[in-house]
Chains A and B, each alone.
Chain A
Amino acid sequence: MSDVVEKTLTALPSLLSLDSQPGSAKLSTNSKLGNLIRGITELTSKHEEEKLIQRELLSIKEQVSSPNTTMRQMKELMVRTIYCEMLGYQASFSYIHAIKLAQQGNVLEKRVGYLAVSLFLDESHELLLLLVNTVLKDLQSTNLIEVCMALTVVSQMFPKDMIPAILPLVEEKLSHSKEIIRRKAVLALYKFYLIAPNQVQHIHNKFRKALCDKDPGVMSASLHIYLQLIQENPEGYKDLTVSFVTILKQVVAGKLPMDFNYHCVPAPWLQIHLLRILSLLGKNDQSTSEIMYEILDESLRRAEMNHNITYAILYECVKCIYTIHPKSDLLEKAAKCIGNFVLSSRINLKYLGLKALTYVVQQDPKLVLQHQMTIIECLDHPDLIIKRETLELLFRITNAQNVTVIVEKMLDFLRVSKDDHTTIDLVGKVAELAEKYATDNEWFIETMNTVFSVGGDMMQPDIPNSFLKLLLDGFDSVEEDRKLRLFAVNSYISLLQGEPSRLPQRFLQVISWVLGEYSHLNGDLEPDVVLRLLAKLLDMKSSSSETKSWVLMAMTKLCSGGAALSVAREVSETYGSSMDTMLRQRAQELQHLSQDSQLQTRVLPQSSSQEAVEVDSSLSFLDWFVSEALAAGAAPYKPPHQRQEEMSRSKALSLEPYGLSLPISMSSCSVADRQSPTLLSMSSGLSGDSTELSHKGSSTTLKLDGVKRVWGREGYLAQREPEEEAAQVETPAPLQSPSQQGDKDSSHSQAPTPTQTPESEQEKQQLASSLFVGLASQSSASLMGKSEQTSQRFRRKARSPDKSLSSSEQLTNPLGSPSSGADNLLLDCSISSELVSAPEQTHLQSLDLTAANSACDAPDGDTKGRKTLSRDDSVSAADVTPHEDPDRPKDLRLASYLPAELSGLSGLPHSEITLVCSNQSLDLSACHVQKDDSLEFVVFIKNSSDTSVHQVQVQVSCEELEVSCVCDSPAEELKSHSVTVCQYRLTVKRPSVYFELAGVVHYQLPAGSLQTEQFSHKLPLKSFIRPLAVSTEDYGTMWLAFSHDTKQNLPLLSDEQEPLTATLNVLKKKLQLHVVEIIGKEGIVACCLRPDQPCLLHCREHAGMLAVWLRSPVPDLPDCLLYHCQRALRER
């Protein structure tokens, strides 16, 4: 009795303090967790909370590590730790105890232990290995709850390498008698499939069994797997279509137990899953689609209940109907459904309706016309998400006639939106539309101004790049170009006269470039006025040093004579002593050029910015320097990112602080030219395309796009039309003219909003006609793909591959990286190569930087596309060139000692046998034999003395090579004048131009003295090169995946009839490269060191030279291979 009273008394205070909260009575108030939580709620500042939690964690730490703590207490401690971790305080000391709890506790404690583990650790955490045994034990437990817990934790996170250990046990559970276990096992296997697809390949049959399980729960779990499998390979599962349709039929007809009903709807989630699967199966497949028409119709009909979940099913149905091969009466019903969604007063349904419209607009623009008034209402909807979705829809229907209105709506939205992600996305879309459909110069420039000011510094760097490029390239008419540029200049001048401090950095950079380049177009504008405006930017606190260097470059172009000079002098004096080396250099240049007008006119020919300037983007004029340095033993050039990578890998001194001051901001460097590498290869040595590819290339579909672009016909990216979809489109019913349509619809939409005043209604109709103009007249297929039926104002100049020196391409260089601070002045100012050779060290530095390729995170070598080596190839082209002095003594008879598998009979030629070392007792010779997958290095040891030697041992090593011994010198005793042979297998660890093998031979003379002799042998990289037979398609895929690249111009055998073919043949013969394909003036070539060390070459005939671009997943390989290509062509 007294017990009860006491408990009540202790509970009282908390009841009083918390009584406003229902349910508080049942909380255990004197638990430690309770105390902690109460403590936290009483706190007022984040800082206090931090202190309290740290104290709490300390006390937990003390208790968990005390040996007296029972598992029961441990469980309580874990719950507290979970709470602290949830608040964001790390408690890594407790992880091991969580694992212990899962290992040793009883069922309940174990449950908390597993929970803590799954919340604290991730699949790569090393402690997880300690859990594997526990999981194994629990999977075999007779207690179902333990098995369930083990399966749950396994599906949350499990180390990939340990899957084989538990896989059989999980598999076994697929035939467990309890459905809950079977179901969890299916999901666990699905998880395994996601992380390691190869390991569960053999159980695909069991998945089928799960699909046919008598329990609907297990069956529905297996749909997760099938959804994934079918997404990856729809062809492989067409035979299951009938089964899925039958299942759906049964579900829809209510054949499942009542348990599966949700708000009287039979198994809605299951239906959603099935519909998704069906749409994947029926896509582009008429016969499969026909199987499902009936059930889709049935689903649409049945789903009439007015509940959220039925709408979810309907939405899935509609999407499915529009995805599979079309059937007109179903489409009609689906369209009606979409109408219901869009017109619904429920906002969630409206959102989905808009999404559905966006999805179907490519096939059925008529539908958009029907709902135009609703769409316009959605544009003014208070919910930003609805607005955003509407804009997405409008973006898809934009054409030259409605672009102004749509872009304006988008910009309106941008001005209110605060979300970074949305802003970035939308800004890109506006820029795309503006460029594509611009109606006139003023509008274009003004729109872009807004884009730059709103998008700020968050937007994708290629937007300013492509804008500047557009200005630079110009269009077909010179007069138009001039007008556009002039307008831009005037508009920027007035912006600068306003409040430039508000403009984002990127915009300021664009402005200064344009002013520098084109302000002379405005005759009324004195250079010193522009200079003063620019100087104002320099003085602004908010300007970044990157912007300042753009400004200084612009000033360099402008300072000529008169008042301009004094401004220039002032500025260069201020910045000539800047701490920023980049700025200092710019200031120096400004100073020198402003003083020497002769030099300036030569370097910056003002009027001729349109003329072609020969820029050797591959810097081939430095080839001699590079090859000399390489020959003298210098390490091949490595781009900075690679160097840093290596540094960090070797755990050497951190380069961080230096890395930061590197003037090129590698990551933001992107190339202006978004076309194929074909164009890039000549257009830019600054090429940042690998950056671009790396973020685009993350999905496989995009990679395929890239492939098409490289080797297909030339074409603007967006013009590619999904042909299947176009083919799918039903011929649209004859449309009414937009205005008629508008009238009809307005009367229709007036019904729900009768309070509207006629004026606003009229306004909306006007908006409608301006928004949806041109929609009806276009063929439905062209809408989505935006194929250019309407005239495009800013059509880029046609590029014919032969006009390789046209100004547009040459001048892409200055724009190569407008976003980077180290934007190359040399190129930017259109300087001819004279200045480059001027002995200014700074210039050389910046050159060096330009040669650097931008950082790139492209995934490492994709090995899928590779084919096995062709044996014949490698044999016929085996490298037998001597590389030792010819006057060294040779011993041809040694050849007979070659190991059988390498001797002449095997068909593998060996290189010349050369003497590597000789003394009074031993002669050592060596040769190598090329095999398909390796290089065999053979050492012949000949006893030249008259007495036998003993214990002959040879050791060969090389830092860059992996040396494995095939057969070591077996001789205990080497008799006089006899020969023994050691064979080593060499594979490349790290590419190098030459490999220096260092060898040591130990032997014992009869006198008993131990002798040591050292020798060395040099192998060129080309002995390791093997042809890589790939298809053009695989080549394309691999190309995009490789990260290390280098570019160079090589001499072309121009005296031949077909110089490219002839040159490639020489390379093929001398270096055993595989010529994949030659298309016109381009050729692609592939080779590898080992199958996992491929290197791809992209060769292009260009201005009498062979522009070669090499890529490989292996660092240094492109550089080393390039060296050998150079040698091969020179020695010919």
Chain B
Amino acid sequence: MIKAILIFNNHGKPRLSKFYEHYNEDTEQQIIRETFHLVSKRDENVCNFLEGGMLIGGSDYKLIYRHYATLYFVFCVDSSESELGILDLIQVFVETLDKCFENVCELDLIFHVDKVHHILAEMVMGGMVLETNMNEIITQVDAQNKMEKSETFIFQSTRQDR
């Protein structure tokens, strides 16, 4: 199970936080801070796995992260997930974002929090990996985005599609 997905920038500003297990508001903020603290200390040439801190649940939990330019992508998972598998899942996620936003940058994530969430929802559902194929994810998201561009039109056409 994936417990949480966090994205923050080099200064620890959260850009996206999605928890698949309930924590109260304060704990969530603390987890973000603690995770940033753990991750930001690490050099570039060390491994991408970390043992979870106290808040997240101790040694049974792992933080798996990747650092892209100004952003950290952190997945907090339990022992039932494969470390390398998740590492590549992050890659898929970022590549998908890149395709959807055409050269994704931090600002895209800030201004389109909702879109990022929608993309994520096609990948991970309730903490379980739903889809790992980038094209499939994009197809799903596109189907929804199409509606955004011409709302009224799509409203009818989706009905006809099915």
B50 on the A face (CB < 8 A):
yes
Contacting residues of chain B (45-64) with chain A, CB-CB under 8 angstroms: 45-54, 58-59
From known contacts A106-B155, A421-B51, infer whether A348 and B111 are also in contact, taking CB-CB under 8 Å. no
Question: B82 and A272: CB pair below 8 A?
Answer: yes
Question: Is A435 among interface residues, defined by CB-CB distance under 8 A?
Answer: no
A122 and B49: CB pair below 8 A? Answer: no
Which of chain A's residues have a CB closer than 8 A to the CB of B17? 86
Taken residue by residue from 47 to 88, chain B's Cβ proximity to chain A (1 for < 8 Å, 0 otherwise) reads as 111111110001100000000000000000000101111011
Instruction: Verify A187–B128 contact, CB threshold 8 A.
Output: yes
Chain B residues with CB below 8 A from A88, complex form: 14, 25, 28-29, 32
**Measured between alpha carbons, how far is A34 from B113 in the docked complex, in Å?**
12
CB-CB nearest in chain B for A109: B151
Is the Cβ of B50 less than 8 Å from the Cβ of A312? no
A312→B125 contact, CB < 8 A: no
B10 adjacent to chain A (CB < 8 Å): no
CB of A108 within 8 Å of the partner chain: yes
Minimum C-beta distance from A836 to chain B (A) = 42
What is the CB-to-nearest-CB distance from A546 to chain B, in angstroms, rounded to a whole number? 23
Q: Are B80 and A227 in contact (CB under 8 A)?
A: yes
Please choose the segment from A150-158, A398-406, A740-748 that sits at the chain B interface, where 4 or more of its residues have CB less than 8 A away.
Answer: A150-158
The distance from the CB of A83 to the nearest CB of chain B, in whole angstroms, is: 6
Q: Chain A residues with Cβ under 8 A from B89's Cβ?
A: 269
Q: Are A79 and B125 closer than 8 Å at their CB atoms?
A: no
Taking a contact as CB atoms under 8 Å apart, the answer to whether B88 and A312 are in contact is: yes
Contact A309 B85 (CB under 8 A): yes
Q: Is the CB of B118 within 8 A of A115?
A: yes
**Which of A86, A122, A224, A419 touches B22 (beta carbons < 8 Å)?**
A122
Stretch in A138-146, A810-818, A1065-1073, A1093-1101 with 4+ CB within 8 Å of B: A138-146
The CA-CA distance from A21 to B16 in the complex, in Å, is: 19
How far apart sit A224 and B32, CA to CA, in the bound complex (Å)?
A: 28
A100 within 8 Å of B (CB atoms): no
Give the shortest distance, in Å, between A390 (CB) and chain B (any CB): 12
What A residues does B85 contact at CB under 8 A?
Answer: 268-269, 272, 309, 312
CA distance A155 to B127 in the complex (A): 9
Interface residue tally on A, bucketed by range = 35 or more
Q: Which residues of A contact B102 (CB under 8 A)?
A: 23
Q: Which residue of B lies closest to A315 (CB)?
A: B84
Q: How far is the CA of A184 from the CA of B155 in the complex (A)?
A: 22
Closest to A347 in B: B47
Q: Is the CB of B118 within 8 A of A111?
A: yes
Mark each residue of chain B from 1 to 18: 1 if its CB lies under 8 Å from any CB of chain A, else 0: 000000000000010111
The answer to whether B114 touches A184, judged by C-beta atoms less than 8 angstroms apart, is no
Are A152 and B107 interface neighbours, CB within 8 A? no
Chain A residues within 8 Å of B106, by CB: 21
How distant is A750 from chain B, measured CB to nearest CB, in Å? 23
Q: In the assembled complex, which residues on chain B have CB atoms less than 8 Å from the CB atom of A221?
A: 128, 130
B residues 122-149 near A (Cβ < 8 Å) are: 125-126, 128-133, 135-136, 140, 143-144, 147-148
A383 contacts which chain B residues (CB < 8 A)? 42-43, 46-47
A87 contacts partner chain B, Cβ-Cβ < 8 Å: yes
A312 B82 Cβ-Cβ under 8 A? yes
Report the Cα distance A348→B38, complex, angstroms: 17
CA A183 – CA B132 in complex, angstroms?
Answer: 13
Q: Does A188 contact B (CB under 8 A)?
A: yes
- A429 vs chain B, min Cβ distance (A): 12
**In chain A, residues 1-57, which have Cβ atoms closer than 8 Å to a Cβ of chain B?**
18, 21-24, 27-28, 31, 33-34, 37
* CA gap between A308 and B87 in the complex, in Å: 9
**Chain A residue at minimal CB-CB distance from B57:** A421
Interface residues of A in 106-137 (CB under 8 A from B): 106-108, 111-112, 115, 119, 122-124
Q: Are B151 and A187 closer than 8 Å at their CB atoms?
A: no
CB distance B133 to A259 under 8 Å? yes
Question: Chain B nearest CB: distance from A314 CB in Å?
Answer: 9
Q: Are A145 and B111 in contact (CB under 8 A)?
A: no
A351 at the B interface (CB under 8 A): yes
Q: Indicate which residue in B47, B117, B151 contacts A385 across the interface (CB closer than 8 Å).
A: B47
Contact yes or no, A87 B111, CB < 8 A: no
- Roughly how many angstroms separate A33 CA and B38 CA in the complex, as a whole number? 30
A422 lies within 8 A of B125 (CB)? no
Contacting residues, chain A, for B128 (C-beta < 8 A) = 155, 187, 190-191, 221, 224
Q: Using C-beta atoms within 8 Å of the partner chain, give the interface range for chain B.
A: 35 or more
Q: Is the CB of B117 within 8 A of A382?
A: no
CA of A348 to CA of B42 in the docked complex: distance in angstroms? 14
Complex-state Cα separation, A22 to B70, whole angstroms: 13
* B83: A residues at CB distance < 8 A: 312, 348, 351-352
B59's closest neighbor in chain A, by CB? A425
Q: Tell whether, in the assembled complex, residue A348 and residue B49 are in contact, meaning their CB atoms are under 8 Å apart.
A: yes
Residue A711 is within 8 A (CB to CB) of chain B in the complex:
no
B53: contacting residue among A143, A155, A260, A421, CB under 8 A: A421
- With the chains together, A111 CA to B122 CA distance in Å? 13
Q: Assess whether B126 is in contact with A156, with CB atoms less than 8 Å apart.
A: yes
- What is the bound-complex CA distance between A184 and B43, given in angstroms? 39
> Smallest Cβ distance from B42 to chain A, in angstroms?
8
Known: A115-B118, A351-B47. A187 touches B125 (CB 8 A): yes
> Can you name the residue of chain A whose Cβ is closest to the Cβ of B89?
A269
Contacts of A178 in B (CB 8 A): 162
Q: A119 vs B23: C-alpha distance in the bound complex, in angstroms?
A: 11
A152-B122 Cα distance, complex, nearest whole Å: 9
In the bound assembly, the distance between CA atoms of A33 and B82 in angstroms comes to: 38
Contact with A144, one of B80, B118, B162 (Cβ below 8 angstroms): B162
| Distance between Cα atoms of A156 and B47 in the complex (Å) | 31
Q: How far is the CB of A671 from chain B (nearest CB, A)?
A: 23
Q: A82-B114, A86-B17 are in contact. Are A311 and B46 (CB under 8 A)?
A: no
Give the shortest distance, in Å, between A985 (CB) and chain B (any CB): 41
Determine whether B101 belongs to the interface, using a CB cutoff of 8 Å to chain A.
Answer: yes
User: Residue of B at shortest CB range from A269?
Assistant: B132
Chain A contacts of B132 at CB under 8 A?
Answer: 262, 269
Complex contact B88–A308 (CB within 8 A): yes
Question: Nearest chain B CB to A317's CB is how many angstroms away?
Answer: 11
Q: Is the CB of A347 within 8 A of B45?
A: yes
Q: Which residues of A contact B52 (CB under 8 A)?
A: 421
Complex Cα distance A421/B55, Å?
Answer: 10
**Contact present for B51 and A388 (CB under 8 Å):** yes
Within the complex, what minimum Cβ distance (angstroms) separates B80 from chain A? 7
Residue B94, interface by CB 8 Å: no
The residue that B131 contacts in the complex, of A152, A217, A350, with Cβ under 8 A, is A217
Residue of A whose beta carbon sits closest to that of B134: A262
CB pair B133 A22 closer than 8 Å: no
Contact check, A33 vs B111: say whether CB atoms are below 8 A apart: yes
Q: Which A residues are CB-close (under 8 A) to B92?
A: 262
25 examples of A-B residue contacts, CB within 8 angstroms: A23-B104, A23-B107, A24-B105, A28-B111, A82-B117, A86-B16, A107-B147, A108-B147, A111-B144, A115-B117, A122-B22, A155-B126, A184-B130, A187-B125, A188-B126, A227-B80, A268-B85, A268-B88, A309-B84, A312-B87, A315-B82, A348-B87, A352-B83, A385-B46, A388-B51
Beyond A221-B128, A420-B54, 20 additional pairs, beta carbon < 8 A:
A22-B103, A24-B105, A86-B16, A106-B155, A111-B118, A115-B114, A145-B144, A145-B158, A152-B126, A155-B128, A156-B126, A184-B130, A259-B135, A269-B129, A308-B87, A308-B88, A312-B83, A347-B45, A348-B48, A421-B51
Residues in B lying within 8 Å of A, measured CB to CB: 14, 16-18, 20, 22, 25, 28-29, 32, 38, 42-43, 45-54, 58-59, 80, 82-85, 87-89, 92, 101-108, 110-111, 113-114, 117-118, 121, 125-126, 128-133, 135-136, 140, 143-144, 147-148, 151, 155, 158-159, 162
Report, nearest first, the 9 A-B pairs whose CB atoms are least far apart: A155-B126, A312-B84, A122-B22, A383-B46, A88-B29, A347-B47, A351-B47, A23-B105, A272-B82
Show the binding face of A for B, using Cβ within 8 Å.
18, 21-24, 27-28, 31, 33-34, 37, 79, 82-83, 86-88, 90, 106-108, 111-112, 115, 119, 122-124, 142-145, 151-152, 155-157, 178, 180, 183-184, 187-188, 190-191, 217, 221, 224, 227, 259-260, 262, 268-269, 272, 276, 308-309, 311-312, 315-316, 347-348, 350-352, 382-383, 385-386, 388, 419-422, 425
